[in-house]
Amino acid sequence: MQNYKLTIAYDGTNYHGWQMQANARTVQGELTRVLTLLDHRAVTLHGAGRTDAGVHAEAQVASVFLQHEFAVDELRDAVNGNLNRDLRIMRVELADSSFNARFSAKEKTYRYVICTAPVVRPADFRYVYHYRGTLDVAEMRRAADLLIGQHDFSAFTVAANETEDRVRRLTRLDIEEDGHRIRITAAAEGFLRYMVRTIAGTLIEVGRGRRSAASVGAALASRQRREAGPKAPAHGLTLVQVDY
């Protein structure tokens, strides 16, 4: 048995997220289908993170044990040849038997992109949240600074989260402005469900002047979901990097 590390890119528009579901098309489901076909047996694919429906990835990582030995490029091409063009394995590497894409990960980085132009280019509309207007980026940065560090992020996840421990250490929350593009980059060892999208949605409210930067710190301290802003739309979010 050989353990393989897969680096994966996908357009999440037509997927019901990463995690396999019985009656829905998912990224994990499509990859598992093809790998099972190639290995002539049921395989178990572990992903670094569970992206939501509509969320994209530039470098999702998965690991899988296969009984058949493949050259890394051969496996990449064989899998890609059985997938739709909106899902691709970009790289295959041999991995140590102890490697697990989820449990071996040290940090994940997500990027949320907002476009404030009057019109979004057709090539971009699937990958940015379109907000026609001006956002106060300086105030958004002040709010973002209050979230960096180790906190209980209960206010920024679903009210009935399956995870009892909601403490996470946010190591990075940068906001960059480039013309009509605003990029929010968040990095942490792990994220709660909808955490990045809720942070982005809350920061957008700050940028619109609907709430103050201080209110974001108050929402964090409250640990109450109702005190934070709405989830930003999924299509603006991309998993860009997983560090090991």
Give strand pairing partners of 5: 63, 93
pLDDT at 164: 74
Any idea which residue has 């920024």 for tokens?
Answer: 156
Helix (H), strand (E) at residue 167: strand 167-178
pLDDT at 41 over 70: yes
Considering the domain architecture, whether residues 123 and 76 belong to the same structural domain is answered as no
Residue 236 Ramachandran class (φ > 0 left, ψ -120 to 50 alpha, else beta): alpha
> Does pLDDT of 160 surpass 80?
no
Average pLDDT over residues 237-243: 98
Rounded distance between C-alpha atoms, residue 46 and residue 238, angstroms: 19
Write down the pLDDT at residue 162. 63
Q: Which pLDDT score is estimated for 228?
A: 96
Q: Could you tell me the two tokens for 107?
A: 């940090």
Last residue of a domain, one of 39, 74, 95: 95
Same domain assignment for residues 82 and 113: no
Same structural domain, 122 and 228? yes
DSSP state of 9: E
Reported pTM: 0.94
What is the count of structural domains for the chain?
2
Residue 102 lies in a domain: no
User: Per the structure block, which two tokens stand in for 23?
Assistant: 């009656």
For 179, the domain range is 107-243
Domain boundary among 64, 95, 126: 95
Q: Above 80 in pLDDT, residue 26?
A: yes
Whether residues 122 and 239 fall in one domain: yes
Average pLDDT over every residue of 78-98: 97
Nearest Cα residue to 145 out of 194, 184, 95: 184
What mean pLDDT comes out for the span 113-122?
96
* Co-location of 239 and 142 in the same domain: yes
DSSP for 169-236 reads EEEEEEEEEETTEEEEEEEES---TTHHHHHHHHHHHHHHTSS-HHHHHHHHHHT-GGGS-PPPPGGG
- Residue 138 confidence (pLDDT): 97
Number of C-beta neighbours around residue 71 at 10 A: 11
Supply the CATH number for residue 13's domain. 3.30.70.580
> Considering 11, 39, 52, 136, which one is annotated as catalytic?
52
Residue 25 has pLDDT above 70, yes or no: yes
Per-residue pLDDT, averaged over 53-72, amounts to: 97
- Judge whether 34 lies within some domain: yes
Q: Percent of the chain at pLDDT above 90?
A: 95
Contact 112, 234 (CB under 8 A): no
What is the reported pLDDT for 161? 60
Final residue of a structural domain among 49, 70, 95: 95
- Say yes or no to pLDDT of 191 above 70: yes
Q: Give catalytic status of residue 178 as yes or no.
A: no
Task: Report helix, strand or coil for 158.
Answer: coil
Q: Report the pLDDT value the prediction gives residue 206, as an integer from 0 to 100.
A: 98
Task: Check pLDDT > 90 for residue 159.
Answer: no
Q: Which residue has the tokens 């005190």?
A: 227
